[in-house]
Amino acid sequence: MAINWFKYSAPTTFYGLAGKLIPWFAIPAALLFAIGLYIGFAVAPVDAQQGEFYRIIFIHVPSSILSMFLYLIMAGYAALGLIFNTRLSAMMATAIAPTGALFAFISLWTGALWGKPMWGAWWVWDARLTSELILLFLYLGFIALHASIDDPRRADRASALLAIVGSVNVPIIYFSVKWWNTLHQGSTIKFTGTTMHVAMQQAMFTMLAACWLYAIAVVLARVRSIILERERNTVWITELPEVRS
């Protein structure tokens, strides 16, 4: 049976679908967070060099990965909205930005907490750290620019351009540890494999999955409010059961 994907690009259809999907992402996210934290703190062994401090990795790495991927997804949606003038794409980009910004902040915050015992400094103007900070500013710039323009369609177009141009920063973040001599360590997990202990990998991938599911659930919940707000003058919104009650 072929699925008509274009049907789900309409806010009318997507609103209901998003509402049904949220619990399917939120509940597994909570379970995986609990499992990931259990493996990370009770099962994974102490690191030979970094001692207990390495355990920050289980939140630092997933939040860093999410901050970069969410930006690319946000820029992708923004580009779709700009090219095809689809309403839902722009709404999705707007819904992703705050979650991406929070993950970028958590990445920087936990990185600082890891840096202090390992490097002796909360912050250094290292290429990886600086480019991640720029990513946070790009998210904040996207949110601020969108909020500063009253007409939502004009706001979508202006902020989409910022998102697309800013996406050049994501490969810079990823490759910064290869291109420059940085204090930040290189990638532990590569396409060719990893030297991490199995329990450490399990904890990290479980937390990564939990963060992904959490981000999807929160973005779906936020986009429903954005759809409600922007389509409030349409007939289908006034006929929704939650609006009629």
Q: What minimum distance in Å lies between the beta carbon of 215 and another protein?
A: 10
Site for another protein in 98-137 (CB under 8 A): 98-99, 102, 105-106, 109-110, 113-114, 116-117
CB 126 within 8 A of CB 60: no
Q: What minimum distance in Å lies between the beta carbon of 128 and another protein?
A: 18
Q: What minimum distance in Å lies between the beta carbon of 229 and another protein?
A: 5
For residue 2, is it left (φ>0), alpha (ψ between -120 and 50) or beta?
beta
Q: What is the DSSP letter of 46?
A: P
Stretch that binds another protein, among 70-78, 149-157, 189-197, 227-235 (CB under 8 A): 227-235
Site for another protein in 56-75 (CB under 8 A): 56, 59-60, 63
Bridge partners, residue 193, by sequence: 190
Residue 190 has φ and ψ, to the nearest 5°, of -120, 170
- 62 or 166: whose CB is closer to another protein? 62
Stretch that binds another protein, among 64-72, 86-94, 141-149, 229-237 (CB under 8 A): 229-237
- 53 or 69: whose CB is closer to another protein? 53
Q: What minimum distance in Å lies between the beta carbon of 220 and another protein?
A: 10
In angstroms, rounded to a whole number, what is the distance separating the alpha carbons of residues 234 and 238?
A: 7
Q: What minimum distance in Å lies between the beta carbon of 119 and another protein?
A: 12
Q: What minimum distance in Å lies between the beta carbon of 36 and another protein?
A: 11
* Total chain residues near another protein (CB under 8 A): 36
Residue 127: how many other CB atoms lie within 10 Å: 19
Q: What minimum distance in Å lies between the beta carbon of 225 and another protein?
A: 5
Q: Which of residues 10, 31, 52, 153 is near another protein by CB under 8 A? A: 52
CB 136 within 8 A of CB 108: yes
Q: What is the DSSP letter of 52?
A: G
Residue 193 has φ and ψ, to the nearest 5°, of 130, -170
Query: Can you tell me which residue has the tokens 């990795």?
Result: 57
Contacting residues toward another protein, per CB under 8 A = 37, 41, 51-53, 55-56, 59-60, 63, 98-99, 102, 105-106, 109-110, 113-114, 116-117, 214, 218, 221-222, 224-225, 228-229, 232-233, 237-238, 242-244
